[in-house]
Chain A
Amino acid sequence: MINLNGKKVFGGLLTTLEILRGNLISPLVLAFLLGIFAKLLKSELSLPKDLYASLSIYLLLALGLKGGVELSESTFQAIQRPALVTLALGCLTPISAYILMKEVGRFSTVDAAALAAHYGSVSAVTFIAALQFTASMNAHAEGFMPTLVTLLESPGILVGLAIGAMKMQKATQGIEQGHAKSNAALFHEILTSRSMILMVGGLIIGFLAGAKAYEPVKPFFETGFKGALVLFLLEMGILAGTRIADLRKVGAALISLGIFIPIFHGGIGVLLGTWAGLSVGGATVLGAMAGSASYIAAPPAVRMTLPQANPTYYLTASLAVTFPFNLVAGIPLYYKIATWLHS
């Protein structure tokens, strides 16, 4: 796409570098890098497990509440097309991820399906980071974006797992019956996961309460939000840092695909978002959502359904490759694509 317009690229290149540099020195990215750095130095630093859980509860609920309040002020028409596009992304991205992992990455069927479930779903932290980034670029995303996250989270995992179940059927016919029971359990697990309950619940509370009733609780949920996010990213960095050693085990193919797939899915996300009428900020954030890989909701669901898949592949790919890529370069890239498509 960029080659079509040689002159603009050169002019745009400097600003791209500026954007990248600006993003790189944001406290979010630096805190993440500090976490990785601490692990590389073999520091004993780690956030208490309960703080990690509390921070994620705070962030997800705050996100839901704010999104709900803004949803109460948007019209159904405005959200209709973006919502449809999001659902389409949820069905498409696991399929393309599966094909790429299987055909290009040469992964086994079960590993490719497990990876597809991760790349089909969405990473809430990447989403929040994209919101922060677009806000810092003065390209605010639409208020209903959190609603779209809840639409994208489940289908991606389900489609990815369905691919796995279909492809594995022949191999596992013997235990098929025992699995019938766990399918219901799986649906229950995905739809009632912590992030779904907090975000959907927050959306509903915010929507019902409206701006005026939200006002008294707003300081708690908004003033501390960015600071909490910095702490959370520090922990994400520590977690990613513990996986750095695994990068050598997973091989160059997975690392390359872990960077290519987000660019590919992110590009499609920005394109479809722009087509659906989203602003530059909205399309950027949708791109980041489509280009992200889940590492909270997807791993347990995959572990339950596709136990033969190697967790080292999907955890390392989503946490130590795709998440850092999106945080550092992916989100600014989706922003560039969005501004280019909008001009």
Chain B
Amino acid sequence: MKLVQLKLLTIICEPVLATQILALSEELGATGFTVTDVKGHGSGGKNSGEIPDLKVKIEIVTDPEMAHKLMAALAETYFENYSVITYTTDTSVLRPEKFESAKS
């Protein structure tokens, strides 16, 4: 069994952004994603702009390059006006070919 190091990219955002962010990640070459409804708030306070006050967590396993590209795009498009945070963590997977950017 051979484990390969990749990145787990996590994005926590307002529900209204979920569709746009998933489209963006697909455009940049992500091969898959997981979406969960979550609760909580950050430095911006309880301002998700929706009733009830919920957030969405998007998780994408990918190579570091694509993760950085997506983070840069998110920062440019959404950081100014929306509640959204994003971070990466190291992760190990089997079958790395499943996570190879479709566009690379």
Contact = CB atoms under 8 A, between A and B. Distances in A.
A307 B14 CA distance: 11
Interface residues of B, number: 18
B45 to A, nearest CB: 8
For chain A, give the interface size range. 10 to 19
B51 A308 contact: no
A300 B15 contact: yes
Contacts of B52: 49, 52, 239
B86 interface: no
Nearest to A178: B77
Given A49-B37, A304-B16, A299 B81 contact: no
B50 A308 contact: no
Interface string B37-62: 10000000011111111100000000
A303 interface: yes
Nearest to B14: A303
Contacts, number: 39
Interface stretch (A79-87, A143-151, A206-214, A311-319): A311-319
B47 A299 contact: no
Given A300-B15, A307-B82, A315 B54 contact: no
A49 B47 contact: no
A299 B37 contact: no
A307 B37 contact: no
Contacts of B20: 182, 185
Contact residues of B: prevailing secondary structure? loop
Given A49-B37, A308-B81, A303 B49 contact: yes
A98 interface: no
A93 B89 CA distance: 49
B51 A315 contact: yes
B78 to A, nearest CB: 8
Contacts of A182: 20
A32 interface: no
Nearest to A302: B49
Interface of A: 49, 52, 182, 185, 239, 242, 295-296, 299-300, 302-304, 307-308, 311-312, 315, 319
Interface of B: 14-16, 19-20, 37, 46-54, 80-82
The 3 closest A-B pairs by CB, nearest first: A307-B81, A311-B49, A303-B49
Given A307-B82, A311-B47, 18 more contacts: A49-B37, A239-B51, A239-B52, A242-B46, A242-B53, A299-B49, A299-B50, A300-B15, A300-B16, A300-B50, A303-B14, A303-B16, A303-B50, A307-B81, A308-B81, A311-B48, A315-B49, A315-B51
27 contacts: A49-B52, A52-B52, A182-B20, A185-B19, A185-B20, A239-B51, A239-B52, A242-B53, A296-B51, A299-B50, A299-B51, A300-B15, A300-B16, A300-B49, A302-B49, A303-B14, A303-B16, A303-B49, A303-B50, A304-B16, A307-B80, A308-B81, A311-B48, A311-B50, A315-B49, A315-B51, A319-B51
